[in-house]
Copies of this chain bind each other. A is one copy, B any other.
Amino acid sequence: MKIVRVIGTATATAKLTGLTGQKLMIVDVQDAKGKVLIPACVAVDSVGAGRGDLCLMVEGSAARMASDGLPIDAALIAILDQVSV
């Protein structure tokens, strides 16, 4: 999984019907000290995350499991309280 910071949101009118009602979060993949490694991925929120939150993002087929079968490849599965290195 990746450590990500939520930096914004995206909205879409034309989309697959399965995406209706899902929150699309713009996230930066970060290292443990906050340096951005990969900017601006999009993940579906599964845990009530908001802008500025540090989260755990899962990718690939596990994102479907985390979202009850949506056709997505990235989901937020935890809000991180602490990262200690």
Contact = CB atoms under 8 A, between A and B. Distances in A.
A60 to B, nearest CB: 5
The SS class assigned to the A binding surface is strand
A15 to B, nearest CB: 4
Contacts of A85: 7-8, 26, 40
This protein's copies in its complex: 5
Interface string A28-53: 00111000011111110011110000
A64 interface: yes
A78 to B, nearest CB: 4
Nearest to A85: B8
A14 B62 contact: no
Interface of A: 1-3, 7-16, 19, 24, 26, 30-32, 37-43, 46-49, 56, 58-66, 71-75, 77-85
